[in-house]
Amino acid sequence: MNDDEKELLKVGAETAMKPFADLITKLFGGPVEQIGGMWTDGLVARRQIRQIKLMQKVQRAIEEAGFDPSLVRDNVGVPLIQAALLEDEDTMQDAWANMLANESDPRKQNPVEAIFPTVLKDLSPREVKFLNALYEVAREDVIATQDGETMLSDHELKDAFVKAALTRCPSIGPLNLGEVQKGGADLEQDLKDFALAVSILIRVGLLRTEVEAEHLDVSSLTRGSNYAPRRLDLPISTRYIFTQLAYRFVAACKRPQK
């Protein structure tokens, strides 16, 4: 049993949660123990400790932003709380707390879509840190699509992964032979972690890919055939698109501002 659990047993959950009673009523319209049946299993103590920490972060975010919180929607608040109380890592707890604060913000500066808790639940701290680094790159990038999304190169993605302090090596590409040999197993693992993080962000719709192709006229080689192609499209590079969903999702995971 850790110190937090000992302290909770000492003072009691009801006493520990008392400072947040007014905030919880404003956010959920009633006692939070009624939401989702979250106090009914064997993880009661750890979930209560996480809830206390979560409410501390939410309250601090709301106070610093200077607004009076409004009632959150059930389809956002219930899955958000249920997922947040399974998470111990600070990066994730901050994201959950900020999302809840933004959902309660009557000004709706960073609107929370109903899908956002599901998206965040599918991410690890690695993907969240990577996504935040990509967000900063995308905001500064001048290459945008007609939809206001941002095109990023493989090199920009790898640089963001390194800047997010997610690698063991100082660079993951492009590399010369000497750098590859020096990186060894660490570099190999960095590249695997990078590829997995990119795949996850693509799967949840925060990144998508576009393949740039070179068009070759082969009509002179296929003249006389009714079925042979007149043009071949040869893929030469892959571009990554930081989507509108990604922009709005990251904003919803950041602290609301005054």
Looking at the structure, do residues 149 and 212 belong to the same domain, yes or no?
yes
pLDDT at 41: 44
Q: Is residue 46 one of the residues assigned to a domain? A: yes
Q: Is residue 84 one of the residues assigned to a domain? A: yes
Per residue of the chain (258 residues), what is the pLDDT tens digit?
A: 566 655 655 556 667 677 777 887 777 766 555 544 444 444 567 778 888 899 999 999 999 999 999 999 999 999 999 999 988 899 999 999 999 999 999 999 999 999 999 999 999 999 999 999 999 999 886 666 667 899 999 999 999 999 999 999 888 877 666 666 666 889 889 999 999 999 999 999 999 998 776 555 555 555 555 555 555 555 567 889 999 999 999 999 999 999
Residue 188 to residue 180: CA distance in whole angstroms: 9
Looking at the structure, do residues 132 and 105 belong to the same domain, yes or no?
no
Distance, C-alpha 170 to centroid of its chain: 23
Q: Is residue 230 one of the residues assigned to a domain? A: yes
Looking at the structure, do residues 16 and 103 belong to the same domain, yes or no?
yes
Q: Give the other-Cβ count within 10 Å of 67's Cβ.
A: 16
What domain range is 189 assigned to?
128-203+207-242
Q: Is residue 252 one of the residues assigned to a domain? A: no
pLDDT at 177: 60
Domain count for the chain, please give it.
2
Measure Cα distances from 114 to 26, 77, 118, 148, 239 in Å: 19, 9, 8, 22, 29
Q: Is residue 33 one of the residues assigned to a domain? A: yes
Looking at the structure, do residues 102 and 132 belong to the same domain, yes or no?
no
pLDDT at 173: 77
Rounded to the nearest 5°, which phi and psi values hold at 114?
-60, -25
Q: Is residue 89 one of the residues assigned to a domain? A: yes
Looking at the structure, do residues 197 and 156 belong to the same domain, yes or no?
yes
- pTM for the structure as a whole: 0.76
Looking at the structure, do residues 154 and 238 belong to the same domain, yes or no?
yes
Looking at the structure, do residues 140 and 225 belong to the same domain, yes or no?
yes
pLDDT at 69: 96
Looking at the structure, do residues 54 and 150 belong to the same domain, yes or no?
no
Looking at the structure, do residues 13 and 105 belong to the same domain, yes or no?
yes
pLDDT at 26: 78
Looking at the structure, do residues 172 and 135 belong to the same domain, yes or no?
yes
Q: What is the torsion angle, in degrees rounded to the nearest 10, for the CA atoms of residue 154, residue 160, residue 165 and residue 171?
A: 50
Q: Is residue 255 one of the residues assigned to a domain? A: no
Q: Is residue 257 one of the residues assigned to a domain? A: no
Looking at the structure, do residues 35 and 87 belong to the same domain, yes or no?
yes
If 0-12 CB within 10 Å is exposed, 13-18 middle and 19+ buried, where does residue 202 land? Answer: middle
Looking at the structure, do residues 7 and 90 belong to the same domain, yes or no?
yes
